[in-house]
């Protein structure tokens, strides 16, 4: 890759920092504002039986005696050192548990991403080439349905069908209790199937719509006509040329969609009781477990931004016009 691309990469990575600071700061201050300035009070009000030791730990971690901006900076400082505090719910240090949650979320999202992109390409090509045919119509219909149906509802319906009625797939969780990686890989895959299918279906709808319309445009372009006029085999015209040109905006879009999907984890993970960041987030806010809440917001923001950047880099790599000399 040309040297200037590395410069671009570094700049984008550095860019994450102010964004994440912005996001976490806003979250931090909003929490305090909504809590009327005293988060401890509402935590205690929420659960009067909380052990005093836990409350003390919270006060110490958040440095509640200091002014709010200092509190934030203090929290930020802790986070940079990967000190996410102690969970109010469980009393355990957050950094112990958060990484396994993060990994669980990540591998589900990545798996769904790969499936949806792998399927989107052939489906879109088919639909674009046989434009306005019955097949195209069906594909377009399924795509628009996919983006119109709430993800959790599709999930529920699939759970009801496959887990309760047919009993072939598990209803939730990432793996059975006694399953051990990697020997019980089948078990892991069985649990992965439904949630990944649901996430993939929704995103597939988005990708197919975009990719298909791009391909239709490109099939009418001059260079495609020139290729046909040269007698180039259709296979090369479509997969080497048309697809490469069509994919550029789609790549950016996939990145954004991945980011949104990660941020939307609470919904899918709750539906499937999938023990990832989203699921834990829902539990955390129910219990007003602030250290966990802040930690998850932080992590998810970083993950979202990283996926955006990876995609931006891919885009520059794919499209030669964007590489500034």
Partner 1 sequence: MDSVLTVEGLKTYFYTEAGVVRAVDDVSFSVKPGTIHALVGESGSGKTVTAQSILRIVPKPGRTVGGRIMFEDKNLLELGEKEMRRIRGRRISLIQQDPTATLDPMFTVQDQLVEAIMVTTELDREQAKRKARKLLEDVRIPGPENVLRSYPHQLSGGMRQRVAIARALAGDPKLLIADEPTTALDVTIQAQILELMRGLRDEYGLSIILITHDLGIVAQVADEVTVMYAGKVCESASVVDVFYSPLHPYTQALLLSVPRVDKRVKLRAIPGNIPDLVDPPKGCRFHPRCPYAVEKCSQEEPKLERADYMADHSGERSVYCHRFRELKLEVK
Partner 2 sequence: MATQTVRRRSASQFAVALRRFRRSKAGLTGLGMLVFMSIVAALGPRIAPYNVNSNNLLLEGETDIAPTWLKPPLFHNWAFPFGTTVGGLDVFSGVLVSLHVDMIIGVGAALFAMALAILVGLVSGFYGRVVDTVLMRITELFIVFPALLFLLLLSRLLAGRLTGVETILFYIIIIGVFSWATNARLIRGEVLRVKSLEFIESEKALGASTSRIVFRHILPNVLAQVVVLTSFTVATSILTEVALFFLGFGSGNILSLGEIMYLNFPYMDVEWWSELFPGISVVILVLAFNLLGDGLSDALNPKLRE
Task: Decide if 303 contacts 92 (C-beta within 8 A).
Answer: no
The stretch among 103-111, 119-127, 229-237, 302-310 that binds partner 2 (CB under 8 A) is 302-310
Q: Is 156 in the site for partner 2 (CB under 8 A)?
A: yes
Sole binder of partner 1 in the list 80, 229, 235, 324 (CB under 8 A): 229
Instruction: Please select the residue that binds partner 1; options are 228, 239, 260, 286, rule is CB under 8 A.
Output: 228
266 lies in the site for partner 2, by CB under 8 A: yes
Distance (Å, whole) CA 252 – CA 311:
6
What CA–CA distance (Å, rounded) separates 254 from 308? 9
Side-chain-side CA neighbours of residue 68 (13 Å):
14
Beta carbon nearer to partner 2, 73 or 263: 263
- Per rule CB under 8 A, is residue 109 in the interface with partner 2? no
* Dihedral over alpha carbons 109, 112, 118, 124 (to 10 degrees): -110
Based on the shown chain and the rule CB under 8 A, indicate whether residue 142 belongs to the binding site for partner 2. Answer: no
Site for partner 2 in 26-55 (CB under 8 A): 26-27, 30-31, 34-35
What phi, psi does 93 have (nearest 5°)? -65, 135
CA nearest neighbour of 174 among 229, 100, 227: 100
Cis peptide before 30 (omega within 30 of 0): no
Q: Which is nearer to partner 1, 232 or 273 (CB)?
A: 232
Which residues, including other chains, have CB under 8 Å from residue 174's CB and lie 6 or more apart? 104, 108, 188, 191, 192, 274, 275, 276
Site string for partner 1, 195-224 (x = CB under 8 A): -------------------------xxxx-
> Both tokens of residue 44?
């205690």
Which positions lie near partner 1, rule CB under 8 A?
Answer: 220-223, 225-233, 236, 241, 244-245, 318-321
Which positions lie near partner 2, rule CB under 8 A?
Answer: 19, 22-23, 26-27, 30-31, 34-35, 144-145, 147-153, 156-157, 159-160, 164, 171, 216-217, 220, 256, 259, 262-264, 266-267, 270, 281-282, 285-286, 288, 293, 296-297, 300-301, 304-305, 308
């Amino acid at each position: 890759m040309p040297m200037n691309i590395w410069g671009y990469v570094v700049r984008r990575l550095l860019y994450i920092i102010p964004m994440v600071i912005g996001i976490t700061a806003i979250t931090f201050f909003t929490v305090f504002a909504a809590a009327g300035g005293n988060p401890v009070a509402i935590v205690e009000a929420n659960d009067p039986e909380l052990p005093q030791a836990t409350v003390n730990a919270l006060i110490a971690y958040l440095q509640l005696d200091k002014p709010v901006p200092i509190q934030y900076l203090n929290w930020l400082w802790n986070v940079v050192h990967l000190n996410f505090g102690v969970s109010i719910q469980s009393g355990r240090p957050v950094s112990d548990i958060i990484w396994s949650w993060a990994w669980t979320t990540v591998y589900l999202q990545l798996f769904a991403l790969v499936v949806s992109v792998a399927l989107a390409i052939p489906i879109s090509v088919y639909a674009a080439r046989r434009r306005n045919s019955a097949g195209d119509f069906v594909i377009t219909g399924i795509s628009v349905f996919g983006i119109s149906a709430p993800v959790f509802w599709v999930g529920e319906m699939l759970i009801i069908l496959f887990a309760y009625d047919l009993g072939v797939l598990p209803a939730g969780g990432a793996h059975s209790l006694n399953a051990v990686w990697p020997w019980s890989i089948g078990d892991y895959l069985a649990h992965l199937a439904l949630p990944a299918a649901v996430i993939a279906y929704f995103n597939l709808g988005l990708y197919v719509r975009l990719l298909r319309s791009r391909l239709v445009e490109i099939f009418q372009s001059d260079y495609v006509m020139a290729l046909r006029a040269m007698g180039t085999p259709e296979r090369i015209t479509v997969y080497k040329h048309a697809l490469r040109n069509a994919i550029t905006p789609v790549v950016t879009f996939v990145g954004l969609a991945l980011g949104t999907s990660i941020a939307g984890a609470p919904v899918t993970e709750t539906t499937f009781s999938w023990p990832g960041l989203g699921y834990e987030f829902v539990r955390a806010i129910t219990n007003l477990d602030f250290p966990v809440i802040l930690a998850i917001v932080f992590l998810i923001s970083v993950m979202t931004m990283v996926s955006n950047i990876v995609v931006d880099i891919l885009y520059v790599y794919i499209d030669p016009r964007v590489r500034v000399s």
